[in-house]
Structure 1
Amino acid sequence: MNAETLTLNKNSWDEAAPRFFGRTALPEYGPLAPLEDELNLMGDVTGLNVLELGCGSGHSLQYMERRGARGLWGIDLSRKQIETASELLASSGARARLFESPMEQDPGLPHNYFDLVYSIFALGWTTNIDRTFANVNAYLKEGGLFIFSWEHPFYNRAKFTDNGLILNKSYHEEGPYDHEAWHTPAIMQQFKVSTYINALIKHGFVIDNVVEEVRLPEDGTETHANRWYSYDKARFLPTTLIIKSHKKSNSVT
């Protein structure tokens, strides 16, 4: 776990939080990606205890509460995001237990307790994928679900130009990189699809579904013009990787 990177990212997210209020939250798994309402990966969450990694502004937890989840828990690196999520959930009468913490650290969450742990477009911020997945395994009951989405590893390795797609980064390259698009410095992590899958298997998970489809609305060309997640680029490459897994019985990590 890189303490310097965590501090850098925490400060960056505290500054950027207002710009991401309500963005990329359930039922949305990612930009131009299928919705949970279509995929139904989580199934019926009525009465379940759920935990969100990278809970952001709280909109995904609000979605879970409206679908009948019983226990709402969330962690986020940013103090500003935790404050915003607390206000949002309180305004709708939802009760949630929120922790200001990086996902690589266990802030004192109950073990063998949660029916579902999920993360919506946040996992690329972890500085230690092994530690994060080990934590998730500890939090979940046997058979509990772990579902996450993140930018597809192919997507930022290619650039869409007037002449078509150009690869501008090796797919084999993994690890931290500067998130240059932000106003303040931030470090993100890049992994191959196989790295996510093998890390899940290593830490006691069984893979149930891998989703790479895109959802291209008929009017999307205009809506997403000149954006990082562009309609034109998404016609060739998936924007989002979604993986559903579950904690196998008697797993040891």
Structure 2
Amino acid sequence: MKTEEILQLNKAGWEQSAERFFGRTALPELGPFAPTENDLDLFGEVANKKVLDIGCGSGHSLQYMGNNGAKELWGLDLTKKQIETAQELLQEQRALVMLYESPMEENPGLPRDYFDIVYSIYALGWTVELEKTLTHIHRYLKPGGMFIFSWEHPMHDRIKRVDDSFILDKSYLQEGPEYNEAWNNTVIIPHRKLSTYINTLVTVGFEIEKVIDDVVLPNVATEGNNHRWYSVDKAKLIPATFIIKARKK
């Protein structure tokens, strides 16, 4: 399936399902069972910074940045519904707000060598063309600017629950687009090894500062949690989330 076809399929899936994700996995959260920005302080001081959110969703991470003093709030997202929601959420921000409905594989008119911070919270893994997307991100950043992203750990969907056990259900080594089980096979998300993310960042010119796959478990699991996609039982075996901080040379 071609890139354009996958993007159209995923856009349709998100337009239909966007509302159930409004406000979920947004800063200061970085992903399921992961330490938060409050724990890690990856971004540091964001006051007066120009920030760009790749896959901004409902705008809640941009709202967090604005509430912490960011000077300009830019975002792009594949879906019209998400952008409209973000525009409404951010309308009272004092910072400049610029939002674009666009796939991350394309530059919808974003400036080059402009941003202090680019980030993507649980969105980058949707890209159909990773190197192309990371090349755009590298160009958006000022020299010395930082890029931080989180995504589902690539081992997470390789392991499946069967009765009271977990089994390795798919090859970690086999990369490529796959219909996603968590979305009932209605969208396509490429599977990539962790090393692919790291090596592609290096290829396009980033320096890796941190790779984090620590697990933070709740004191008490909610009822029925162990039957969910992100379960405490699975998180005891394998991280649900990985986080990478990189910098433009």
Superposition TM-score, scaled by structure 1 size: 0.94
Aligned partners of 2:35 and 2:77: how far apart in 1?
Answer: 24
The amino acid of 2:230's aligned partner reads Y
2:187: which partner in 1?
Answer: 186
1:89: which partner in 2?
Answer: 90
Query: What SS does the corresponding residue of 2:88 show, helix, strand or coil?
Result: helix
Aligned partners of 1:222 and 1:87: how far apart in 2?
Answer: 34
Alignment CA distance shift 1:85-1:184 (3 Å): farther
Query: What SS does the corresponding residue of 2:183 show, helix, strand or coil?
Result: coil
Aligned 8 A contact 1:179 1:187 in 2: yes
The amino acid of 1:152's aligned partner reads H
Aligned partners of 2:211 and 2:110: how far apart in 1?
Answer: 27
1:126: which partner in 2?
Answer: 127
Aligned partners of 1:179 and 1:116: how far apart in 2?
Answer: 30
Aligned 8 A contact 2:71 2:96 in 1: no
1:109: which partner in 2?
Answer: 110
Aligned 8 A contact 1:12 1:184 in 2: no
Q: Does 1:22 align with 2:23?
A: yes
The amino acid of 2:122's aligned partner reads F
Aligned partners of 1:221 and 1:88: how far apart in 2?
Answer: 29
Query: What SS does the corresponding residue of 2:112 show, helix, strand or coil?
Result: coil
Query: What SS does the corresponding residue of 1:34 show, helix, strand or coil?
Result: coil
Aligned partners of 1:227 and 1:91: how far apart in 2?
Answer: 36
1:145: which partner in 2?
Answer: 146
The amino acid of 1:151's aligned partner reads E
Aligned partners of 2:224 and 2:60: how far apart in 1?
Answer: 22
Aligned partners of 1:185 and 1:85: how far apart in 2?
Answer: 24
Q: Alpha-carbon deviation of 1:142?
A: 0.5
Q: Alpha-carbon deviation of 1:225?
A: 3.1
Which runs of no fewer than 5 residues in structure 2 stay unpaired?
A: none
Aligned partners of 1:130 and 1:3: how far apart in 2?
Answer: 16
Q: Does 1:238 align with 2:242?
A: no
Q: Alpha-carbon deviation of 1:161?
A: 3.7
Aligned 8 A contact 2:206 2:246 in 1: yes
1:251: which partner in 2?
Answer: none
Query: What SS does the corresponding residue of 1:149 show, helix, strand or coil?
Result: strand
Superposition TM-score, scaled by structure 2 size: 0.95
Aligned 8 A contact 2:145 2:247 in 1: yes
Q: Does 1:40 align with 2:32?
A: no
1:172: which partner in 2?
Answer: 173
Number of aligned positions between the proteins: 248
1:12: which partner in 2?
Answer: 13
1:66: which partner in 2?
Answer: 67
Aligned 8 A contact 1:33 1:214 in 2: yes
1:79: which partner in 2?
Answer: 80
Aligned 8 A contact 1:41 1:244 in 2: yes
Q: Does 1:214 align with 2:215?
A: yes
Aligned partners of 1:184 and 1:223: how far apart in 2?
Answer: 22
Q: Does 1:201 align with 2:202?
A: yes
Q: Alpha-carbon deviation of 1:32?
A: 1.2
Aligned 8 A contact 2:66 2:93 in 1: no
Query: What SS does the corresponding residue of 2:30 show, helix, strand or coil?
Result: coil
Aligned partners of 2:72 and 2:55: how far apart in 1?
Answer: 17
Identity across matched positions, percent: 55
The amino acid of 1:61's aligned partner reads L
Aligned partners of 1:18 and 1:126: how far apart in 2?
Answer: 21
Aligned partners of 2:131 and 2:177: how far apart in 1?
Answer: 15
Aligned partners of 1:99 and 1:147: how far apart in 2?
Answer: 20
